[in-house]
Amino acid sequence: MNHSSINTRYAKAFFKLIIEKNSLDQALNDMSDVYSVFNEVESLSAILEDPVLGTFKKINVIQSVFKNKISELSLSFLNLIVKNKRSSHIKDIIRNFLNLVKKHQGIKSIVLTTAHTLEEKQKEKIKVLIKNEVNSKIDLTEVVNSNIIGGFILRIEDLQYDASVKAELQKVKKKLLESPVEK
pLDDT tens digits, one per residue of 48-84: 999 899 999 999 999 999 999 999 999 999 999 999 9
> Residue 115 and residue 136: Cα distance in Å, rounded?
26
Of the candidate ranges 78-82, 139-143, 156-160, the one whose mean pLDDT is the lowest: 156-160
Question: Percentage of the chain surpassing pLDDT 90?
Answer: 57
Domain extent listing, the chain = 3-103, 106-178
CATH C-level class of 3-103: mainly alpha
Q: What is the pTM of this model?
A: 0.74
